[in-house]
Chain A
Amino acid sequence: MATLIDLAQHYNYIVTIFLMMAGLYIVIARGNMVKKLIGLSIFQTSVYLLYIEPGKIIGGTAPIIDPAFSVYSNPLPHVLILTAIVVGVATLALGLALVVRINEAYGTVEEEEIVEKDRDV
C-alpha cells in the first residue's frame, strides 16, 4: 500500500520517464537519421519536464513577483531549461545539416543502406 501511494505521488516522474524511454527507443531502434534526431529531441523535452517538475509547488504561481501572491514556483530550473531549449534547437539544426550532407554523399539517410554502401567500397 505504501508503495502504491509512493507511485501515485511520483506519477508525473513516471510519465516523464516513459517519454524519455520512448525517445531512447527511437534513437536505438530506428535506422532513419531524421527519425533518430526526432527521438533525441523527445528525450530532450522529457528532460525539461524532469527539471521543471520538482520546482512546482502545488498552490504556487509563476515566479513573477506580485504583492497579491506569496507562494511561487522555483525560478532556477526554469532558467536552466530556457537555456537548454535554445541549445537543443541549435544541436537539432546542426544534426539536420549533417543529415542533408550525408544524404548528398550517399543518396540515403538509412543507416543500414549507408553501411552496405561502405562495405561495397
Chain B
Amino acid sequence: MLAVVTVAIVLQRHLFGVVVLTTIYSFLMASVLIVLDAVDVAMTEASVGAGISTVILLATLHLISTTEMRSFRTKVLPLVVAIGTGALLVWGTLALPPFGTADAIIHKHVGPRYLSDTIKETGVPNAVTSVLADYRGYDTLGETTVIFTAGIGVMLLLRGMRRRGRTEEGGDGQ
C-alpha cells in the first residue's frame, strides 16, 4: 500500500495532489512503525512528518506555482541508475539476518544493557526516552543545534524576501 502511494506520488504532476499523497504516505509510514514496535517514532512521524511537513509544503505552494512542467529530458538514465542501485542494495540486504529474529547481532550489542539497566540507572520505564535524554544526551544536543541553525537559515532567507516585497509595494505607490 505504501508502495502504491509512492508510485502515485511519482506520477502525479499537480503539486497539491502530491502534497496530499505525501501526507497519506506519512500516516501509512506511522502505522508501519507501530507494527514494528517503534511507538515513539510512529508518534513523531505522524505529528512531524504528516503535520508540520504538510504545513510547510502547503505554505510553499501558496508562494509558488502548483503545476509541474512536463520534462523533456530522457527518463531512461535515472531509471537505470535507480534500478541498478536497488538491485545492488537488495543483494546486500540478503546478507542481513532474517527479519524479526532475536539472536541477530543488533540485539547482542548495547541494546540489552539499555533495557536491563534503564529503571535502575534513570528511573524511566520507557527505554527510548532514557536513551534519548540520558545515555545519548549529546545526540539530542546536536539535533537541537541543527534545528536552530536551520531555523536561522529559513528566517534569513524569508526575511529578505519580505523586505524586498515591501519596497516594491512602496515603489508602486509613488
User: Is A78 in contact with B128, judged by CB distance below 8 angstroms?
Assistant: yes
User: Is B131 in contact with A75, judged by CB distance below 8 angstroms?
Assistant: yes
Within 8 A of B (CB), among A30-46: 30-32, 34-35, 38, 41-42, 45
User: Is A19 in contact with B3, judged by CB distance below 8 angstroms?
Assistant: yes
Within 8 A of B (CB), among A12-68: 12-15, 17-26, 28-32, 34-35, 38, 41-42, 45, 48-49, 52-66
Interface size class of B (residues with CB under 8 A): 35 or more
User: Is A54 in contact with B96, judged by CB distance below 8 angstroms?
Assistant: yes
Q: Which residues on the A side are within 8 Å of B160 (C-beta)? A: 101
Q: Closest residue of chain A to B44, judged by CB?
A: A85
Interface size class of A (residues with CB under 8 A): 35 or more
Main DSSP-derived SS at the A contact region: helix
User: Is B106 in contact with A54, judged by CB distance below 8 angstroms?
Assistant: yes
Supply 23 A–B pairs (Cβ within 8 Å), ascending by A: A9-B98, A10-B93, A11-B99, A21-B83, A22-B9, A30-B68, A34-B64, A35-B18, A41-B49, A48-B33, A48-B41, A55-B106, A62-B37, A63-B127, A64-B39, A64-B126, A80-B139, A83-B143, A85-B48, A86-B44, A86-B147, A96-B60, A97-B154
Q: A10-B98, A18-B6, A65-B125 provided; 7 other pairs, C-beta below 8 A? A: A38-B9, A45-B49, A52-B36, A60-B37, A62-B39, A92-B53, A103-B63
Listed in ascending order, the chain B residues whose CB lies under 8 Å from chain A are 2-3, 6-7, 9-10, 15, 18-19, 22, 25-26, 29, 32-33, 36-41, 44-45, 48-49, 52-53, 56-57, 59-61, 63-65, 68-69, 71-73, 75, 77-79, 81-83, 85-86, 89-90, 93-94, 96-102, 104, 106-107, 109-111, 114-115, 118-119, 125-128, 131-132, 136, 139-140, 143, 146-147, 149-151, 153-154, 157-158, 160-161, 164
Listed in ascending order, the chain A residues whose CB lies under 8 Å from chain B are 6-7, 9-15, 17-26, 28-32, 34-35, 38, 41-42, 45, 48-49, 52-66, 71-83, 85-87, 89-94, 96-101, 103-104, 108-110, 112-113
